[in-house]
């Protein structure tokens, strides 16, 4: 699981500003401490209200190696807060070319 902001403190784009641009089948490469890379393929992205966030679905155990990318979403200009979260679900891609 990786968490990141959609915007930066200075009002510019955050590390996950373009998270919604990921589509089913897109590759995500994660660098490991040992220098190797794990490659994941995007399954889907979903937006959830913070008041109804599916904690078990997002953070729970999975049958295989999976990745979740999570950021804030649903900006309300009246309050200045993000009312939602956006989650990208990805699974470990098979080894090979």
- Per DSSP, which regions of the chain are E strands? 2-3, 27-31, 37-49, 66-76, 81-92
For the cut 80, the answer to whether the pLDDT of residue 95 exceeds it is no
pLDDT reading at 51 higher than 70: yes
Q: Give mean pLDDT, residues 9-27.
A: 90
Q: pLDDT grade, residue 89 (50/70/90)? A: very high
Query: What does the pLDDT look like over 65-82, one tens digit per residue?
Result: 999 999 999 888 899 889
> What is residue 14's predicted lDDT score, i.e. its pLDDT?
86
Alpha-carbon span 20 to 29, nearest angstrom: 17
Is residue 40 pLDDT above 80, yes or no?
yes
pLDDT band for position 1 (cuts 50, 70, 90) = confident
């Amino acid at each position: 699981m990786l968490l990141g902001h959609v915007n930066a403190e200075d009002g510019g784009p955050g590390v996950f500003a373009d998270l919604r641009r990921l589509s089913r089948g897109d590759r995500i490469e994660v660098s490991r401490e040992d220098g190797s890379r794990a490659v994941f393929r995007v399954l889907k992205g979903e937006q959830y209200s913070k008041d109804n966030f599916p904690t078990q679905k997002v953070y729970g155990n999975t049958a295989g190696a999976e990745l979740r990318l999570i950021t804030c979403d649903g900006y309300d200009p009246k309050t200045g807060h993000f009312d939602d979260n956006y989650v990208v679900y990805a699974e470990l891609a098979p080894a090979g070319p």
